[in-house]
Structure 1
């Protein structure tokens, strides 16, 4: 029984260490804890917040470890239960391992260590990893108010029939990166291509300016998403 207790302590320490590391990369504590537990148990990792893990190189590595450790832990727990009456639990080595993990957790919880990790994992790692390994948030959203938004062109949109050359004369602090037309991506000719209903603009810039300039299109998008959710709930 003591073997299982000590091993659960090890699992607890691994969770807390992983939460601190995830937090140090910029995640909020509640999100970090939920995603760590989800990864470790293989459950609940289907939320939109999972993109925060998959889009960050350090978080992905921590996530891979947690998935493997979770699978190993399940095997250990099953083995422990099946041999609970065995005389040799190897309790001493396991206790030493738990003590080491506890010491690591205590060090990671120190304010100075947390400050160092936060700076190290949010700045230095961005310089270490290739640009394509980083998420859009970390590459483009550098200032408060920055946004990367997809804006669909509906049938009622005032932009249908216009080119981005015409539209962009009115835009301030906004960049249209591409036009998505079905399976076709228009980049080089995006400024001179007449927009059609069904097109999707991928826009980078100030969020308030995007919402102001594309209020009608975004309202139609929200209405369409609401209708789709309602239709799905009826199935």
Structure 2
């Protein structure tokens, strides 16, 4: 009886990890990284990789990880208790082999493409209702790295860009995009090419950091 309970409980944990990984994947995470984060949270070993920042900064991902952490402690205690009870009554080789076969069969079904597609659709519908898919960190959306980034540059009277339009400055030809302009009390989102840059403007730029530095 203890063996049946343990096998069933392990299968439930596999399902929880896979469903959580799919939920994280739908928000934009790589599936393998999502599985690692889900498993780490569930077994309460922590998740200290650089990918953890992508979880902490995303509301939907934080919710998934928090649920796994809460479930992790009683889950670990349950498995340990079941193992202790099993060790008190030695198992036969047939019982162990049967348990392993059941787990492998269940895992193969869980990781099958048809089931994963259904899980993807169901979880995506739930996340879409809460608008969680629309919230992603800027660092993740723009794939920021050591060569590309977002920066603020304030123009003064000596700047070559002052007096020019965005299109006329040909700043985009240098791999730099003006995402927004802060002009005194006005914040201009996604300025158009005919927007003229003035002294005192603060530009929110995205592009190659080396090119952005050349503007200073």
Partner of 1:215: 210
Partner of 2:95: none
Structure 1 gaps, min length 5? 88-98, 142-147, 154-158, 180-185, 205-209, 220-235
Contact 1:177 1:203 in 2 (8 A): yes
Contact 1:57 1:129 in 2 (8 A): no
Alpha-carbon distance between aligned partners in 2 of 1:70 and 1:178, rounded to the nearest angstrom: 46
Alpha-carbon distance between aligned partners in 2 of 1:132 and 1:17, rounded to the nearest angstrom: 16
Partner of 2:186: 188
In structure 2, the CA distance between the partners of 1:82 and 1:125, relative to structure 1 (3 Å rule), is closer
Could you report, residue by residue, the CA deviation over 1:46-79 in whole angstroms, capped at 9, with x for unpaired residues?
A: 3331233334454333222211111221332454
Structure 2 gaps, min length 5? 90-101, 143-147, 189-196
Correspondence 1:176 to 2:179: yes
Alpha-carbon distance between aligned partners in 1 of 2:123 and 2:162, rounded to the nearest angstrom: 39
Contact 2:54 2:140 in 1 (8 A): no
RMSD of Structure 2 on Structure 1 (CA):
4.8
Structure with larger Rg: 2
Partner of 2:76: 74
1:114 CA drift (Å):
2.9
- Give the structure-2-normalised TM-score: 0.54
After TM superposition, the structure 1 = structure 2 runs for residues 1-235 of structure 1, keeping only pairs within 5 Å, are 2=3, 5-6=6-7, 7-80=9-82, 109-118=111-120, 124=125, 127-130=128-131, 134-136=135-137, 149-151=149-151, 162=159, 166=164, 168=166, 169-172=169-172, 174-177=177-180, 188=186, 192=198, 194=200, 202-204=204-206, 210-211=207-208, 214-217=209-212
- Give the structure-1-normalised TM-score: 0.51
Does the residue aligned with 1:27 lie in a helix, a strand or coil? coil
Does the residue aligned with 2:24 lie in a helix, a strand or coil? helix
Contact 1:150 1:203 in 2 (8 A): yes
Does the residue aligned with 1:150 lie in a helix, a strand or coil? strand
